[in-house]
Amino acid sequence: MPRTTDLALSRIVREQIDHPSPIRQIMKMAERRNIIEMGLDPDDVISFGGGWVNHEAPEAFRRQYEAIAADPVLFHRSGAYTATLGDNECREQMAAFERHLFGVERLTLENIAIGAGSTQLTHDFFRTVLDPGDTVLLLDPTYANYAGQIAFAVNGARIVRVPVLDPDRWAYLPETDPQRVIEVIDEAFRVHQPRLALFCAPDNPTSQIVPQVVVDALLARTQAAGAWLAIDFAYKCQYFRTPPAYYGWSPEDYPNVVAIHSNSKWARGLGRRLGWIEASRPLIDAIERVQQCSLLCADTLEQMAMARYLREAIADGSLRRYIDETNVRYRRAADATLAAIDTHLGRPRLVPAGALYTVMDVGMDGDEFVRQALKATGVLVIPGRGFGETLRRGVRISYGPLVSDLGKIEEGMGRLGAWMKTR
């Protein structure tokens, strides 16, 4: 019998193993064993690396789990399959969620597919709309996982990037020079003819929100080209300013626009995998066929609890209060992070418009900075290069995990600042 190590892996898997996510590489550095090998105390390490939220899920949501688990009939039902596109009640409540919070009208359950989080849904969306050789337009910088997801979902698909960060002025170009960005988008469509344009709102890693004028240009170019425009709304509920008009777009009005959602961030459901995608009815039908082979159905218990919670929380107004109160907490953490950077480091950084992050110019290769800083200070940040070349001399700083411990933010930036002054 051949050994497992003698059996061939697929070419794409071999390629991706040889090019691992730089974020995952850095996070491995922060594992307890590696920290000890560096001569550091793991309990003394302060991490700004995690892309996760740390507020509490709604208490009324937790009580729905209690009620389902306490009822033998409901608990039995929670172990059954739902339809591949999801339980109809949950799909209806996701549509109600969007209408209630963001004014997305003309949205019904027929526009919604439920899945096991935005990662799985994004993969299946790529499989649904892309062929080998197609081009995907991404921003630079943007979410580091997209490149790997595209490679695994559609082997041979290509990526073209539109720079949105000016590394010399450390400025977010869609805000400071939108016409320049639109001209680059026009050139990308003329030369590369992308089949799909994809961006986050707010963005990971910059926590910026692409302004309406740039998104209107993307809409016009994709419509003219017969291409898709996808918006990753994983952080949609984390916003610090009035959301732009496209937060309320419906696929019934814009059939080439696809919205990808996650419950991981707003409901602090990172490990309770549930998300949904909003799209035109023909695309939802196509995604159903893909999910029949990839997922079969999303978690039934999670769908039951979420549907029951949303039905009550929308009716009594507690959902809106929960979202607003949570945003106050993250805005406070963002302000504390910026103040600490300004006080202790004095380095260029972006002001978050939402989400969990800021990006900071460290004036050197970000990978090397992260390695040196962790060993010297016990403070972990994420190198920027994995998000795009425009961020190669920068780092991503996440205040999400420390939303309830602002003192750690101050201490961490203080350690980095003291070390940088001695270099």
Q: Which of 269, 285, 317 is the last residue of a domain?
A: 317
If asked whether residues 276 and 367 sit together in one domain, one would say no
If asked whether residues 95 and 206 sit together in one domain, one would say yes
pTM of the model: 0.94
If asked whether residues 367 and 275 sit together in one domain, one would say no
Q: In this structure, are residues 149 and 122 in contact, taking their beta carbons and an 8 Å threshold?
A: yes
Element (H, E) at 394: strand 394-398
What number of other Cβ atoms are within 10 A of residue 286's Cβ? 18
Q: Which of 284, 301, 317 is the last residue of a domain?
A: 317
Q: Specify the pLDDT at position 23.
A: 63
If asked whether residues 293 and 225 sit together in one domain, one would say yes
Cis amide bond preceding 2, omega within 30? no
Output the tens digit of pLDDT for each of the chain's 423 residues: 555 556 788 888 888 888 777 666 666 766 788 888 878 888 899 999 888 999 999 999 999 999 999 999 999 999 999 999 999 999 999 999 999 999 999 999 999 999 999 999 999 999 999 999 999 999 999 999 999 999 999 999 999 999 999 999 999 999 999 999 999 999 999 999 999 999 999 999 999 999 999 999 999 999 999 999 999 999 999 999 999 999 999 999 999 999 999 999 999 998 899 999 999 999 999 999 999 999 999 999 999 999 999 999 999 999 999 999 999 999 999 999 999 999 999 999 999 999 999 999 999 999 999 999 999 999 999 999 999 999 999 999 999 999 999 999 999 999 999 999 987
Q: Specify the pLDDT at position 32.
A: 81
Q: In this structure, are residues 384 and 395 in contact, taking their beta carbons and an 8 Å threshold?
A: yes
Query: What CATH number did the domain enclosing 350 receive?
Result: 3.90.1150.10
At 219, phi and psi to the nearest 5? -60, -45
Residue 268: domain span: 59-317
Q: Tokens 């995998």: give the residue.
A: 273
Q: Specify the pLDDT at position 2.
A: 55
- The total domain count for the chain is 2
If asked whether residues 63 and 106 sit together in one domain, one would say yes
If asked whether residues 206 and 226 sit together in one domain, one would say yes
If asked whether residues 308 and 349 sit together in one domain, one would say no
| Closest listed residue to residue 375, CA positions, set 26, 73, 85 | 26
If asked whether residues 216 and 340 sit together in one domain, one would say no
Q: Which of 295, 317, 339 is the last residue of a domain?
A: 317
If asked whether residues 121 and 188 sit together in one domain, one would say yes
CA angle 309-310-312, nearest 5°? 70
What number of other Cβ atoms are within 10 A of residue 375's Cβ? 13
Q: Specify the pLDDT at position 39.
A: 81
- DSSP symbol at 141: S
| Closest listed residue to residue 110, CA positions, set 129, 85, 127 | 85
Query: What CATH number did the domain enclosing 148 receive?
Result: 3.40.640.10
If asked whether residues 50 and 114 sit together in one domain, one would say no
Q: In this structure, are residues 106 and 253 in contact, taking their beta carbons and an 8 Å threshold?
A: yes
220: three-class secondary structure by DSSP = helix
Tokens of 64: 């729905």
If asked whether residues 188 and 201 sit together in one domain, one would say yes
Cβ burial of 287 (10 Å; 0-12, 13-18, 19+) is: buried
If asked whether residues 44 and 75 sit together in one domain, one would say no
Q: Specify the pLDDT at position 3.
A: 57
